Amino acid sequence: MTYKSKSSRISGFYKMTLEERVSVLTERAELTPEEVGLLRSGGGLGLEAANRMIENVLGTMAYPFGVAVNFRINGRDYIVPMAIEEPSVVAAASNMARLMREGEGIRTSSTDPVMIGQIQVLDVPDMEKAISSIEDAKGSLIEGANKLDPVLVRFGGGAKDIEIRSIETETGIMLIIHLLVDCRDAMGANAVNTMCEALAPRIEELTGGRVLLRIISNLADRRLVHVEAIVKKDDIGGEDAVDAIIDAWAFADADPYRASTHNKGIMNGTIAVALAAAQDHRALEAGAHAYAARTGHYRSLSRWYKNGEGDLVGVLEMPMAVGIVGGATKTHPMARLALKIMGINTAKELGEIMAAVGLAQNLGALRALTQEGIQRGHMRLHARNLVVMAGAEGEQIEKAVEALIQTGAIRFDKAQEIVHSIKDKPK
């Protein structure tokens, strides 16, 4: 059995010690001793590598790197690495993935990985003539762009089309040219920016105008991921619980103040996977929020409704500009390990997993908010941190957590009192 066909359903994973978890994962993802060493290295990025990555380096900064279990996507099981500083997120993703596992589990699909490069043309003397000149030269412009990246073209990608429009702005009418580039397994910023810069002089000749910006757009609305999952009503608390989640979603869809927080919950999942895989998470955030406002009204990225059986259905569609070739994904050893743990070979698969985790995360938040509220889970983790800081070890930890929660005052002094009394108790 290859590890790709092993189940990701690992019950009680969160209760294991860190060492036990590493050993389960070593077996599950066939980690080498070097990769296990990397997990123990506290961040995995050496100073030399960091120094080559950005400027003015002084050191590195680590985040907790965990895995969400239980994910089943398009009939295949995935263990999903997440890097995040916020408690509850990894637990919620794993719990909701468990509820979404039935049948094929979460279902996903994607468009081709097409990114948009923008070329801004100013001072165009005759807009109509400029547009028709570009239309006529489309084929040769695309060919010129593709000469710059024969490797991308060989893999089936490259510049595919050009779109033209004029826009009214504060400083006058501008001609905006979109170069549509299929980026295959790359995020694409380098390829797209190079093409746009190279085409600029030809665009000036054709339009008689002056090119200013030549840059990728982060509103990657030609590179979308679609995710869908069903949760049986009884698994989420029955009919009333389903209705409450739909009401909570409707609030977000209608009100930008709520939509912003609702979408933040989705990005808790998506970005944690993005960070683990060293993706450009700023690009992903920018794209997601711009897409959420595409109707002119900032709305929920997800949709929740009831099917004929009264079960809860969740749908999420969002731009997903991710890559697994080039960039930090190639140079960061933890990112390479993250891809290995997921057992994936394409950017498409990575993007679909990221969106699936976003949808699971969204459900986790909506379930907590419509039932016990969000603080209970947070408080349990907070209590756990406090008792560990106060010196609790092994089996003492859960005992001390329960006792601390019972006091209703989750504070360090209380944690110390409880841990001391547990430790002092004769065995």
Q: Which residues are catalytic?
A: 86, 264, 280, 378
Angle (CA) 20 352 369, round 5°: 70
Q: Which is nearer to ligand MEV, 325 or 374 (CB)?
A: 374
Contacts of 77 (CB under 8 A, 6+ apart): 5, 6, 7, 8, 9, 71
With CB under 6 A as the contact rule, the residue among 268, 270, 302, 329 that binds ligand MEV is: 268
Shortest CB 218 distance to ligand MEV, Å:
22
Q: Which is nearer to ligand MEV, 264 or 399 (CB)?
A: 264
- Residue 264 makes contact with ligand MEV by CB under 6 A: yes
Residues from 373 through 402 that contact ligand MEV (CB under 6 A): 374
Shortest CB 360 distance to ligand MEV, Å:
13
- Residue 82 makes contact with ligand MEV by CB under 6 A: no
Shortest CB 264 distance to ligand MEV, Å:
5
The answer to whether 314 and 228 are in contact (CB under 8 A) is: yes
Residues from 206 through 235 that contact ligand MEV (CB under 6 A): none
Shortest CB 361 distance to ligand MEV, Å:
8
With CB under 6 A as the contact rule, the residue among 261, 307, 345, 421 that binds ligand MEV is: 261
Pairwise CA distance, residues 66 & 272, whole Å? 10
Q: Which is nearer to ligand MEV, 49 or 315 (CB)?
A: 315
Going by C-alpha positions, the residue among 206, 323, 300 that lies closest to residue 248 is 300
Hey, what are 305's tokens? Answer: 């409704």
Pairwise CA distance, residues 163 & 320, whole Å? 21
Q: Which is nearer to ligand MEV, 178 or 264 (CB)?
A: 264
Shortest CB 89 distance to ligand MEV, Å:
7
Residue count at the site for ligand MEV (CB under 6 A)?
Answer: 9
The region of 181-189, 232-240, 257-265, 299-307 touching ligand MEV under the rule CB under 6 A is: 257-265
- Residue 358 makes contact with ligand MEV by CB under 6 A: no
Pairwise CA distance, residues 384 & 404, whole Å? 9
With CB under 6 A as the contact rule, the residue among 365, 379, 392, 400 that binds ligand MEV is: 365
333-342 helix and 347-370 helix, angle to the nearest 10 degrees: 80
Q: Phi/psi of residue 136, each to 5°?
A: -65, -30
Shortest CB 374 distance to ligand MEV, Å:
5
Pairwise CA distance, residues 349 & 75, whole Å? 13
Angle (CA) 361 363 367, round 5°: 120
Shortest CB 369 distance to ligand MEV, Å:
6
- Residue 270 makes contact with ligand MEV by CB under 6 A: no
Binding letters toward ligand MEV, positions 315-344, x by CB under 6 A: ------------------------------
For the CA atoms of 377, 379, 384, 388, the dihedral, rounded to the nearest 10 degrees, stands at 160
The region of 210-218, 232-240, 256-264, 293-301 touching ligand MEV under the rule CB under 6 A is: 256-264
- Residue 178 makes contact with ligand MEV by CB under 6 A: no
- Residue 95 makes contact with ligand MEV by CB under 6 A: no
Among all residues, whose Cβ is closest to ligand MEV?
265
Q: Which is nearer to ligand MEV, 215 or 250 (CB)?
A: 250
Q: Interface residues with ligand MEV (CB under 6 A)? A: 86, 261-262, 264-265, 268, 365, 369, 374
